[in-house]
Structure 1
């Protein structure tokens, strides 16, 4: 780790110094992003996954750092798995050997590769295969990360910041992403959750062909990244609304959060359908967190700033020296200012960045269960804004918010 950081640090310093010379261009933001992506890849797969998760945590890191880490959402390891036929044969027997003969690499990452294949009975499937030995590598990397976190937490710069807790949350999420049996369950739930939206498709897992390190699912074709001008406006807008309804239904009514709906996992097709893939980074909100987030979003849609501040404060942990009154005042103002904007003017990214920045500046540690759904919507907004810039996130959420709150009231009265 020291060698990687020292070498990469020297490279970054040289590039930035070169850009400051007469006639050079100031590309410090781009240089930082390239450097971060390179360093993280060299450190190992656990660091790659942690950086991918942190890339949206503008409540913890400066925006320019988050932009640099966001590069890691693309394929970062482009090598196929060696010995694939033997691995699939060991896990799935003759069916595995048959799948291996038809496998074609379509995607790769630090933890797994995805292949297109054909089953012996002629069905086209997608086969997600975990890289051999990745669990032991992750255990080593995560142990290093936890040790470093313990040291950082005792330094003056990070005093009062729950570094170990943050790293522990990241580690739990990373461990969950290597368990394909868990992902198959989440994929089944996502598939069921979009059943009411004809335009939204989630591949159906094939549990009889899946194991802890091999996930087989129905193959969905035409997963090209469409640009807005390649699809008619009517088709684009209808598809975006269908995605939003599906995400809101899962989030507010079932507490299921897909935290990774970036353009690499959300595909708009020419026929107006949308395909969601990869349930590796999903989380389930507890009843308390789901109720709090629903109440926050509802109060936000009404422009009730003080109520939003009270909801957020009930989910945070004050650090030493926290200014609760200052946070309440500024958050109320932030909500009230944004509630008067038109749909085209409201920017969820800017709002969430301001919300997280207020928590950081006033000494409040965000509850990760409250953060995950906001991050989910942030990632989703980035994927759909180009397709439907006028979409009103708050307005489209209202039917699901109202239903969720009414169900909560009924269940409380019944209890």
Structure 2
């Protein structure tokens, strides 16, 4: 009860902020609203004496972005997350929300120093030779430049970046996420059609993402894992983590001397090959997603630098995506199927993966996929978006009862961002030409005999583990048999008269011969094994 009142109060407060920014309902729909709703909306927009005046932007996305920024860090993250959900808010609004800036005023230097000293257990002077004022501030943390104390390896010290969480941010997010979860549960119960969109699961996915961002040790671990994955790759690298000066609320890493990817003019002036950079960012992302199943899910221009050698260096690993083997295969085959315009194959993949129910027509689904794919071919390369293709694909799947896949939505959102980076480098970049070699190479590798042998070996190992469990399974079966035998001896086995008549008729016809009995026993054992494994 108290939770409901508390969360309802918070959401009403948020609704008032949205209403005051004309972001609760589109201005364009006011003419269609009933008078009662318009009166309620006007009341919500009334400004209290202590509230600042809200300035409405001209575009719906501008109004919504301004309102979310006014609501604070949790709602900024919510807005960024909604940008990954075109199936909920529409493709246009989702595209516009990708422009939502995660920038807030920095918190005081004294609080940053206090957090660093508390987390690392030493005075600042015993940790760093110098610590700058904040050089960047976002909703969850801010970054400082520091110089380490001299040591044997670095007699003059070395430059590092120090990321520090905002004070009280964990409690603030916990309160708002509880409100989001309460609202999602209410929607799930009260509006059955919305269950296909999995609102509760979406909020849980957001909460898991935020949880990782709130523990900077997990971000450091993500950086370390990706650094191992790309150690032998050319054209892309990850900053080294300074584990000695990293804790839950403080992350220290190698300082990157490079040009921000957002500064195109500076990159050109430095002589970097912009076409190559466009290709590199696409191929690096696809390689991470397909080969490793682990990708940077927030790789926009602000989180990328280009060093002197022309290597892309990524930072800010708070949001990461993972794909299992099935998801990777599905993504590769879907994209490659569109490249080949093999819509039947793309449809088959969806059915094989269980994403579309077998009760639907595979031919009708292939026809719907053709309606998505054909319009993109023959258009100028700069107008063709792989990410938007996937967004349209997810919209089409709604009529075929495909449930929302949060991990694929995150992948699609990241692809839109990556494409934006590639075309920022090279406005005429052909996304498909860059992607095809990576997709083709991965497909060939998965179809290679040695890969099939590895998969067969993995299957044999799994079968071996099952065989090793057979004595235990047999023992369980014997105990179950004794239980049923004792139960029958004590109470007798009672069957419905219709059942006894059916058995009698079958016996007269010889229907229960040895082969049938063995088949029934085998099916029962298989069912038992499936339940116990």
- Residue of structure 1 equivalent to 2:264: 227
1:65 equivalent among 93, 109, 112: 93
CA distance in 2 between partners of 1:29 and 1:309 (Å):
42
2:143 equivalent among 114, 120, 126: 114
- Residue of structure 1 equivalent to 2:224: 188
My pick for the range that moved more, 7-16 or 305-314, is 7-16
Deviation at 1:315, TM superposition (A): 4.8
- Residue of structure 2 equivalent to 1:243: 281
**Does the residue aligned with 2:22 lie in a helix, a strand or coil?**
helix
My pick for the range that moved more, 250-259 or 394-403, is 394-403
**Does the residue aligned with 1:60 lie in a helix, a strand or coil?**
helix
1:315-334 correspondence to structure 2 within 5 Å:
315=353, 326-334=364-372
The answer as to whether partners of 1:60 and 1:360 remain within 8 angstroms in 2 is no
1:90 and 2:118 aligned: yes
- Residue of structure 1 equivalent to 2:16: 6
- Residue of structure 2 equivalent to 1:23: none
The answer as to whether partners of 2:381 and 2:430 remain within 8 angstroms in 1 is yes
1:139 and 2:140 aligned: no
1:289 and 2:327 aligned: yes
Deviation at 1:228, TM superposition (A): 5.2
1:218 and 2:254 aligned: yes
1:263-282 correspondence to structure 2 within 5 Å:
263-268=301-306, 272-282=310-320
**CA RMSD between the two structures:** 3.4
Over 3 Å counting, the alpha-carbon distance change for 1:306 and 1:3 in structure 2 is: same
- Residue of structure 2 equivalent to 1:24: none
Structure 1 unaligned runs (5+)? 21-26
CA deviations on 1:104-153 (whole Å, 9 max, x unpaired) are: 31111111111111111211000111122222222221111110111112
Over 3 Å counting, the alpha-carbon distance change for 1:292 and 1:220 in structure 2 is: same
Deviation at 1:407, TM superposition (A): 4.0
Question: How many residues are paired up?
Answer: 409
CA distance in 2 between partners of 1:309 and 1:104 (Å):
54
CA deviations on 1:226-263 (whole Å, 9 max, x unpaired) are: 12585168611122222233222211111112111112
1:154 and 2:189 aligned: yes
CA distance in 2 between partners of 1:265 and 1:315 (Å):
34
Over 3 Å counting, the alpha-carbon distance change for 1:392 and 1:404 in structure 2 is: same
CA distance in 2 between partners of 1:81 and 1:291 (Å):
48
**Does the residue aligned with 1:116 lie in a helix, a strand or coil?**
strand
CA distance in 2 between partners of 1:387 and 1:76 (Å):
27
Structure 2 unaligned runs (5+)? 1-9, 31-54, 151-156, 459-533
- Residue of structure 1 equivalent to 2:206: 170
**Structure with the greater alpha carbon radius of gyration:** 2
The answer as to whether partners of 2:298 and 2:319 remain within 8 angstroms in 1 is yes
Over 3 Å counting, the alpha-carbon distance change for 1:76 and 1:102 in structure 2 is: closer
Deviation at 1:100, TM superposition (A): 8.4
Over 3 Å counting, the alpha-carbon distance change for 1:395 and 1:91 in structure 2 is: same
**Does the residue aligned with 1:34 lie in a helix, a strand or coil?**
helix
CA distance in 2 between partners of 1:48 and 1:365 (Å):
26
CA deviations on 1:320-350 (whole Å, 9 max, x unpaired) are: x988765432113322443555644423244
CA distance in 2 between partners of 1:316 and 1:100 (Å):
57
Identify the structure with the greater helix proportion.
2
Deviation at 1:182, TM superposition (A): 1.4
